[in-house]
Structure 1
Amino acid sequence: MNMSFNRLASPIVAAGRPLPDTGRSPVLVRELSSGDRDRLLAHFLALDEDDRLLRFGQIVPDHVIENYVGNIDFAHDTVFGVFDDQLLLVGVGHLAYLPAEGDKRTAEYGVSVLESARGRGIGTKLFERAAIRSRNTQVSTLYIHCLSRNATMMHIAKKAGMKIEYAYGEADAYLSLAPADQTSLIAEMLQEQAAVFDYAIKRQACRTSRMFEAFMPTADAA
């Protein structure tokens, strides 16, 4: 039996990983656009062979990733990202809408987090944001396909109450979603506003830092 995802921001802790450090900045998830395509490409190219295997189900070469990023349709799908203080895209969630079957709408979700940013709950936050967006866009089932050895993704799926089916080293996970309501709509709006504001602050800080560096005397000049 599928379980409904009615929690707006329920914590899901990856197995064997510590809770996020309370001294760290909160993980904020921003919706991406075609203007972020270069950062998306840099993110996926930074994944090593094993991470590419877990994300795409096979070890994909650079040119396949370039083609994948170049063909993302931001008008149809939804892509989310988490940025670090240097505006490096450290986590990406891709929500792809599948063809509707009657009144049933399904979306497939894929996620990747850079190794340097793991253990902070980024994958969880990306998943939760994707679940809220799915609810708010009349998706009734959120679907994940991945390798069964993808322990982090499997743990997130189990914590969310997804129905999981295993076959030939792969896994399919399904989550039945409650219809959108005023609470889910407001929650997504507030999350996006916070993430956009956070990104603007980080961008300004980076610009200010580069400006100071430009005026600082170099070692040769000194």
Structure 2
Amino acid sequence: MNLLPPSSAEPIASNDRPSLSAGRAPVLVRELTAIDRERLLTHFLALDEDDRLLRFGQVVPNHVIENYVRAIDFTRDTVFGVFNSKLELTGVGHLAYLPAEGDKRTAEFGVSVLESARGQGIGTRLFERAAIRSRNTHVTMLYIHCLSRNSTMMHIAKKAGMKIEYAYGEADAYLTLSPADQSSILAEMLQEQAAVFDYALKRQARQASRLFESFMPAAVAA
């Protein structure tokens, strides 16, 4: 069981769709594994107090975040990430599956985006990826819990057609999902393949850059 609820979300970029005409690269979302745990920890520790409040529902100290990341079960939940050119996680989405009630299955979604990466539609892409994964894993209801003052998260929930209930400064949003079909399964597969390929290219570019930098002192000395 996770130490912190995955659903209290930090502010998401208000730009639902990044503008490729403005030279912005598409946002590609890759599924994470236990190998990415240290990068996840770095991502969450980089959140300031307000971001932590909006993400976890309270201002949590570093050791609580460390316990939360350590407790993530990648065989049970699904975690998604968006990487920048330095292979840093700029956005993270956590999809936690709740106990099934008969034929009804609910998943809870939480998201965080670094301040430096906002305005690129990362939060929206993470939400969309979580929704399609939920459909393809037979989830019938996608659920979000966050502070009601998180206006950008509320905007995304409303745009997705989620039913929203407000109480005591908090909000619960529910989205009924249609069953998986060939289109949703193919779409998720293609999205993951594109993200994996993009990550491989960024890793190669990063390695080449480091190799070049290692030769720079020798070249200058010569």
Relative to the length of structure 2, the TM-score reads 0.91
> How far is 1:25 from its partner?
1.0
Rounded to whole Å, the distance in 2 between the matches of 1:218 and 1:130 is 48
User: 2:5 is matched with which residue?
Assistant: none
User: What aligned pairs does 1:13-52 form with structure 2 within 5 A after superposition?
Assistant: 15=14, 17=15, 20-22=18-20, 23-52=23-52
Structure 2: 5+ residue runs without aligned partners?
1-11
Structure 1: 5+ residue runs without aligned partners?
1-12
Alignment: residue pair count: 209
Following TM superposition, where does structure 1 have runs of at least 4 consecutive aligned residues deviating by more than 4 angstroms?
218-222
> How far is 1:14 from its partner?
5.4
Rounded to whole Å, the distance in 2 between the matches of 1:75 and 1:190 is 22
User: 1:143 is matched with which residue?
Assistant: 143
> How far is 1:56 from its partner?
0.3
Q: Is the counterpart of residue 119 in structure 1 residue 119 in structure 2? A: yes
Q: Quickly say closer, same or farther: Cα 1:18–1:138, change in 2 above 3 A.
A: closer
- Alignment check: 8 A CA contact 2:16 2:124 kept: no
User: 2:92 is matched with which residue?
Assistant: 92
Q: Quickly say closer, same or farther: Cα 1:18–1:72, change in 2 above 3 A.
A: closer
User: What aligned pairs does 1:153-192 form with structure 2 within 5 A after superposition?
Assistant: 153-192=153-192
> How far is 1:21 from its partner?
3.5
Q: Quickly say closer, same or farther: Cα 1:219–1:168, change in 2 above 3 A.
A: farther
Aligned-residue sequence identity (percent) comes to 79
Counterpart secondary structure, 1:216: helix
Q: Is the counterpart of residue 193 in structure 1 residue 193 in structure 2? A: yes
> How far is 1:217 from its partner?
1.1
User: 2:59 is matched with which residue?
Assistant: 59
User: 2:128 is matched with which residue?
Assistant: 128
Q: Is the counterpart of residue 212 in structure 1 residue 215 in structure 2? A: no
User: 1:105 is matched with which residue?
Assistant: 105
Instruction: Supply the RMSD in Å over aligned alpha carbons.
Output: 1.7
Rounded to whole Å, the distance in 2 between the matches of 1:169 and 1:77 is 27
